[in-house]
Structure 1
């Protein structure tokens, strides 16, 4: 819980009473590897803060191929924010890549926090902005770079993930085949 509060306090001030109120709204959940926090075709139920483990955002393209879009690891929020806030059906999956332990807020509790804590909306907007900026910084090099450079950018952007997640997910995220990824990894060593 301390990691959650430390992160939130980077975006504004909360007094002791507000922190206690916030913590009263959170519950701890566990997700086994391959479980879904959120599924395409369903309305996202939670904003989650990752205590342990790794999640990925993924979807299926028009050829039926699974595409990994993003990873979220410990110390970060994971949510399909737009769909959660609007309470509309998600188009992506948010899947546990490893066994995960998270702190979650339901939509009702998330809204109660907004209705109760003055300034929470601005703090929340700044948290979302930081997450989107980080995502863009990590994804931008993947658009125009060659496969080796994309892999090196991945290692730089997600230094703790390479030995924790299946290489098939890394290859999908990088937009290359698993064979190409193996060849790149061999050539770098």
Structure 2
């Protein structure tokens, strides 16, 4: 499974044989069933995950006990409660496998060791975290400025597989709306 991560990184970066060996050494392959919480709120996230296959979400419980989905990720890509992972502080969110997930995982300590041994991986790691910041800023802006229909259309354009793999209630929460509102939008979009 590590070869998929190596290929992903090599699509934009040059890796030496030593870099590839370090990836195999530091990234542990794991398989989780659907609906499994793999990082719990109230705890420091243990791992940064690379998604080989499957869908993950970040969620927390709202004031009335409802689950609020703040992020859904599609393969490939990295996933965790980033701010809590980077700062080694307790997260207020859960990481859950929506579907069965094939993942590679690395601890913060191992990531630090790894990036200290490989300048290519240090640069790649910085790029991944920068992309995460840009994504979160863009998402905040879109939640504030786009209509529900515009957010939904953008989601299905950019991530069409999400509709077949993620429950509508999670998608609605992620888009900042109630499932009933999303159902109305879907009927309009798919007329």
Alignment of 1:30-179 (within 5 A): 30-138=31-139, 140-179=141-180
Q: Who is 1:182 aligned against?
A: 183
Alpha carbons 1:138, 1:154 under 8 Å: kept:
no
Return 5+ residue gaps in structure 1 as ranges.
none
Q: CA deviation at 1:41?
A: 0.3
Q: CA deviation at 1:135?
A: 4.3
What is the TM-score normalised by the length of structure 1? 0.90
Q: Secondary structure at the match of 1:89?
A: coil
Alpha carbons 1:3, 1:75 under 8 Å: kept:
no
Q: CA deviation at 1:44?
A: 0.7
Alpha carbons 2:85, 2:108 under 8 Å: kept:
yes
The range that moved more, 83-92 or 3-12, is 3-12
Alpha carbons 1:141, 1:153 under 8 Å: kept:
no
Q: CA deviation at 1:7?
A: 2.6
Q: CA deviation at 1:4?
A: 0.8
The separation in 2 between residues aligned to 1:108 and 1:122, in whole angstroms, is 17
The separation in 1 between residues aligned to 2:153 and 2:19, in whole angstroms, is 42
Alpha carbons 2:19, 2:120 under 8 Å: kept:
no
Instruction: Map Cα deviations across residues 157-182 of structure 1 (whole Å, 9 max, x no partner).
Output: 32210111100001111122111111
The separation in 2 between residues aligned to 1:123 and 1:147, in whole angstroms, is 34
Rate the CA distance shift 1:137–1:6 in 2: closer, same or farther, 3 A.
farther
The range that moved more, 77-86 or 8-17, is 8-17
Q: CA RMSD in A?
A: 1.9
Paired residues in the alignment total 189
Q: CA deviation at 1:117?
A: 1.6
Instruction: Map Cα deviations across residues 98-147 of structure 1 (whole Å, 9 max, x no partner).
Output: 11110111223212202222353332111111233244445532322222
What is the TM-score normalised by the length of structure 2? 0.89
The separation in 1 between residues aligned to 2:155 and 2:141, in whole angstroms, is 11
The separation in 2 between residues aligned to 1:147 and 1:6, in whole angstroms, is 36
Alpha carbons 2:15, 2:120 under 8 Å: kept:
no
Return 5+ residue gaps in structure 2 as ranges.
none
